[in-house]
Amino acid sequence: MAVFDYDVVVIGSGPAGEGAAMNAAKRGKRVAIIEEQPTVGGNCTHKGTIPSKALRHSVKQIIEFNTNPMFRDIGEPRWFSFPKVLSRAEKVISNQVMLRTNFYARNRVDIFFGQAQFLSKNEVSVSGSKGGAETLRAKNIVIATGSSPYNPPDVDFNHPRIYNSDTILKLSHTPRTLVIYGAGVIGCEYASIFSGLGVKVDLIDNRDRLLSFLDGEISDALSYHLRNNGVMIRHNEEYESIEGTENGVVVKLKSGKVLRTDAFLWSNGRTGNTAGLGLDKIGLQANGRGQLQVDGHYRTKVDGIYAVGDVIGWPSLASAALDQGRAASEDMLQAEDFHFVSEVPNGIYTIPEISSVGKTEEELTRDSIPYEVGQAFFKDTARAQISGEPVGMLKILFHMETLEILGIHCFGDQASEIIHIGQAIMAQEGAANTVKYFVNTTFNYPTMAEAYRVAALAGLNRLEHR
């Protein structure tokens, strides 16, 4: 068995692993990364973030073509199959793999493909690689193995019409009807995608409103637009049984309802990828959801072993995972600019998309913080009228006395881009972080960013008329 020595070994090449590996390599450390899939990128590139967002973009283009009267000069509305739309996502995936492979090569990070398993706290074996079993030794090891869909044992995921959020990317036909069980972020995003392709979607939610962590007004807007696009949302429901048949799936709910559908998508929960790592050999134990506990520096209870990304739970976002990986690397290298990732914007790629940062109205009300609201509706902005994307709004929550910005919530086209302007101002110190910044700053016209000025003026006007 070949043995290789490194300063840092990273298990997993998703955003968290990439962040840790690249930062250590750029600081002169000898780094190896282990990936169980045949190519780098992790589940983010191959099964989650990248393919689903590429799918969404294609579907959004189809919707625009089919609903914009200007395109009738080109041809009549068209129907596109799911596999055809998926083919474009596969091109994006291959581009991302090539890009990231070049990153590792340029920074002299060695890649080992295969299954990682701990031999000791400083040794990891890699099996299944082309060269046979190998052992990697390092002072520091980073666990960045990500997560996978939780598959309940009473659901037959081997049935050809029952999918989870990974296997749905292998769907080889376009169903006429689809039941999605689980109305979290992934469930809502796929409800948008399939309804945009003309599929009749039932979205089963075991809570009383969609994405309850969102500002209530934004959650209500999402519900309205999903329903407006033909999605049947069923709240406060739980399944009794899910049975595949010869030509579909029968979903029985505890409320007595019976749904018959062409295909079924399970999107209720995820599990940390820790099984098979041999954690017992180093004295680590995952919780019931396969996740590892870390301290404020992403250190596990075993000296020299860190964990980052989805495998530690919150916030389970690719954006945060990359920063967590870099932060863990900074800590192990004893660098001065370590920071714990705590303020993370939400980016939800439904149609239209959602993004938010800071407090919601519900949280501010609960904590008895006096606040005011400034809103800008996209339908009133020139740029949205020009682009034909009038749906949505920007909402700024700010303190009634200090004018400090407390939360920003955006719903509509480019929401995940627009939010970062407000995020940057919220991060400023003292008087720089007030709603007056948006009033006293000149924005390009016409732009979507101008919505900040409109919302700020509206909020300050509400204060003056009290």
352-464: which CATH topology?
Enolase-like; domain 1 (3.30.390)
Q: Collapsing DSSP states into helix, strand and coil, what is residue 372? A: strand
What pLDDT is stored for residue 465 in this prediction? 72
Q: Collapsing DSSP states into helix, strand and coil, what is residue 26? A: helix
CA atoms within 13 A on the CB side of 45: 26
What pLDDT is stored for residue 130 in this prediction? 63
Backbone φ and ψ for 129, nearest 5 degrees, come out as -80, 165
State how far the Cα of 117 lies from the Cα of 127, in Å rounded to an integer.
Answer: 8
What pLDDT is stored for residue 401 in this prediction? 95
Percent of the chain's residues with pLDDT above 70: 98
Q: Look at strands 147-149 and 270-272 and give their pairing.
A: antiparallel
Taking 80 as the threshold, does the pLDDT of residue 466 lie above it? no
What pLDDT is stored for residue 65 in this prediction? 82
Q: Where do you find CATH 3.30.390.30 in the chain?
A: 352-464
Model confidence band, residue 84 (pLDDT cutoffs 50, 70, 90)? confident
Distances (CA, A) of 188 to 19, 146, 198, 348: 28, 21, 16, 9
Say if CB 407 and CB 367 are below 8 A apart. Answer: no
What pLDDT is stored for residue 335 in this prediction? 81
Task: Calculate the CA 402 to chain-centre distance.
Answer: 33
pLDDT in tens, 341-376: 988 999 999 999 999 999 999 999 999 999 999 999
Residue with tokens 């030794």: 137
Taking 90 as the threshold, does the pLDDT of residue 79 lie above it? no
Taking 80 as the threshold, does the pLDDT of residue 68 lie above it? no
pLDDT in tens, 182-216: 999 999 999 999 999 999 999 999 999 999 999 99
What pLDDT is stored for residue 129 in this prediction? 59
Distances (CA, A) of 131 to 8, 117, 120: 21, 16, 22
Taking 80 as the threshold, does the pLDDT of residue 421 lie above it? yes
Model confidence band, residue 419 (pLDDT cutoffs 50, 70, 90)? very high
Q: Collapsing DSSP states into helix, strand and coil, what is residue 325? A: helix
Taking 70 as the threshold, does the pLDDT of residue 290 lie above it? yes
State how far the Cα of 156 lies from the Cα of 171, in Å rounded to an integer.
Answer: 16
State how far the Cα of 169 lies from the Cα of 178, in Å rounded to an integer.
Answer: 14
Model confidence band, residue 263 (pLDDT cutoffs 50, 70, 90)? very high
What pLDDT is stored for residue 337 in this prediction? 80
Q: Collapsing DSSP states into helix, strand and coil, what is residue 320? A: helix
pLDDT in tens, 319-338: 999 999 999 999 998 887 88
Burial code (b: 16+ CB inside 10 Å, e: under 16) for 339-362 equals eebeeebbbbbbbbbbbbbbbbbe
pLDDT in tens, 17-67: 999 999 999 999 999 999 999 999 999 999 988 999 999 999 988 888 887
Burial code (b: 16+ CB inside 10 Å, e: under 16) for 133-167 equals ebebbbebbbbbbbbbbebeeebebeeebbbbbbb
**pLDDT: is 306 or 64 the higher one?**
306
DSSP class of 309: G
Task: Please give the helix or strand (H or E) that residue 21 lies within, else none.
Answer: helix 15-26
What number of residues does the chain have? 466
pLDDT in tens, 104-135: 999 999 999 999 999 999 999 999 756 668 99
CATH architecture, range 162-268: 3-Layer(bba) Sandwich (3.50)
Task: Calculate the CA 447 to chain-centre distance.
Answer: 26
Residue 183 structure tokens: 């109305």
Q: Collapsing DSSP states into helix, strand and coil, what is residue 259? A: strand
CA nearest 455: which of 417, 401, 419? 419
CA atoms within 13 A on the CB side of 139: 7
Q: Where do you find CATH 3.50.50.60 in the chain?
A: 2-148+271-332, 162-268
Q: What average pLDDT does range 170-174 have in this prediction?
A: 90
Longest Cα–Cα distance in the chain:
77
CA atoms within 13 A on the CB side of 190: 32
Average pLDDT along the chain: 94
What pLDDT is stored for residue 253 in this prediction? 98
To which CATH superfamily is domain 2-148+271-332 assigned? FAD/NAD(P)-binding domain (3.50.50.60)
Percent of the chain's residues with pLDDT above 90: 85
State how far the Cα of 212 lies from the Cα of 95, in Å rounded to an integer.
Answer: 35
What pLDDT is stored for residue 371 in this prediction? 97
What pLDDT is stored for residue 222 in this prediction? 97
Taking 80 as the threshold, does the pLDDT of residue 393 lie above it? yes
Q: What average pLDDT does range 400-421 have in this prediction?
A: 96
